[in-house]
């Protein structure tokens, strides 16, 4: 069955919706809140209070800054299963095939990955520990967009159509950009700084000029731009 994006209000009206409190949030955030509410009053209350408080710690997943919140371990599988099933019905007309979901303990720079042909979604266990349930929920929705394009017979990379579907769900960036968990950071790292202030760590010292990937994606359409050339600032050694 082909997803009917034209008839789906989430894709017609854009990403911004209104919560009952009058605060503007995305449809993805609202869906996450509904899943939390179905699992636990504590999770629902914590989610709403943290969304309304701009001072609480947040992590950015696919351009969406979400509060760090963790479901109880006995609710984790129920959360992701419920999120997949409900998002499939709400955003994709129930057209997505069922997917196996697993945790990958080795993912360091990647928060999630999907194998559309074999219908397998992997989520990063270390990033879950560091960033919480909601952030990985955003990653799951991102991977589902890949699957929707595949199911629709369309190119399923980070194409223009992918970006349109992603932004319609309130996810303006195709890159996860979740911070690397501390326990996975190398003990020794070479540090580079972009003029935007971002610090980039590398286990090896660059032999050729490198530019800030974040700035190049946002201001140069992903192409190398010498304006954002990384400057070596030293080495970090930790016990």
Is-above-0.85 flag for pTM? no
Residue 2 in domain: no
Do 120 and 200 belong to one domain? no
**CATH code for position 82:** 3.30.2010.10
Do 203 and 131 belong to one domain? no
| Mean pLDDT value of segment 163-181 | 88
% residues pLDDT > 90 (the chain): 65
Do 202 and 233 belong to one domain? yes
Do 90 and 190 belong to one domain? no
Residue 49 in domain: yes
User: Are 127 and 152 within 8 A, CB to CB?
Assistant: no
What's residue 90's pLDDT? Answer: 93
d(CA 159, CA 116): 15
Q: Indicate the range of 22-36, 46-60, 101-115 predicted with least confidence.
A: 22-36
For residue 111, what are the CA distances in angstroms to 88, 91, 185?
Answer: 21, 22, 15
Count of structural domains, the chain: 2
Residue 20 in domain: yes
Residue 174 in domain: no
46: pLDDT strictly greater than 80: yes
Strand, coil or helix: 145 = helix
Do 204 and 155 belong to one domain? no
Do 40 and 141 belong to one domain? yes
User: Are 148 and 168 within 8 A, CB to CB?
Assistant: no
Of 114, 140, 168, which residue sits at a domain end? 168
Residue 196 in domain: yes
Residue 32 in domain: yes
Residue 3 in domain: no
pLDDT digits (tens, 9 = 90+) for 146-160: 999 999 999 999 999
What's residue 186's pLDDT? Answer: 66
Residue 4 in domain: no
pLDDT digits (tens, 9 = 90+) for 9-27: 344 434 434 333 445 789 9
Do 125 and 61 belong to one domain? yes
- Comparing CA positions, the residue from 125, 128, 168, 123 lying closest to residue 145 is 168
Do 71 and 137 belong to one domain? yes
Q: What is the CA radius of gyration of the chain?
A: 19
Please give the residue range of the domain that contains residue 224.
186-237
What's residue 222's pLDDT? Answer: 83
pLDDT digits (tens, 9 = 90+) for 203-238: 888 999 999 988 998 898 888 999 999 999 998 875
pLDDT band of residue 141 (cuts 50, 70, 90) is very high
DSSP letters of 178-190? PPPPGGGS-SEEE
pLDDT digits (tens, 9 = 90+) for 26-43: 999 999 999 999 999 999
Do 195 and 92 belong to one domain? no
What's residue 179's pLDDT? Answer: 82
What's residue 125's pLDDT? Answer: 92
pLDDT band of residue 50 (cuts 50, 70, 90) is very high
What's residue 196's pLDDT? Answer: 92
Do 112 and 157 belong to one domain? yes
Do 54 and 105 belong to one domain? yes
Do 130 and 206 belong to one domain? no
């Amino acid at each position: 069955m082909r997803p009917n994006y034209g008839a789906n209000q989430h894709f017609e009206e854009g990403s911004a919706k209104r919560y009952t409190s009058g605060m503007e949030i995305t449809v993805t955030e609202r869906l996450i809140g509904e899943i939390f509410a179905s699992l636990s009053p504590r999770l629902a209350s914590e989610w709403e209070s943290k969304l309304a408080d701009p001072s609480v710690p947040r992590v950015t997943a696919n351009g969406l800054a979400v509060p760090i919140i963790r479901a109880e371990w006995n609710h984790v599988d129920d959360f992701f299963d419920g999120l997949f099933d409900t998002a499939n019905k709400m955003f994709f007309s129930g057209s997505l095939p069922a997917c196996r979901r697993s945790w990958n303990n080795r993912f360091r720079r990647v928060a999630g990955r999907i194998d559309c042909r074999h219908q397998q979604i992997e989520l990063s266990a270390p990033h879950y520990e560091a960033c919480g349930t909601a952030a990985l929920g955003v990653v799951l929705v991102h991977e589902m967009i890949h699957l929707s394009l595949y199911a629709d017979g369309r190119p399923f990379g980070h194409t223009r159509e992918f970006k349109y579907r992603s932004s319609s769900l309130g996810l303006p960036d195709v890159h996860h950009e979740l911070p690397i968990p501390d326990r996975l950071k190398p003990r020794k790292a070479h540090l580079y700084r972009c003029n935007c202030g971002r610090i980039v760590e590398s286990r090896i010292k660059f032999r050729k000029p490198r530019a800030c990937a974040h700035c190049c994606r946002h201001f140069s359409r992903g192409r190398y731009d010498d304006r954002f050339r990384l400057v070596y600032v030293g080495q970090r050694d930790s016990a």
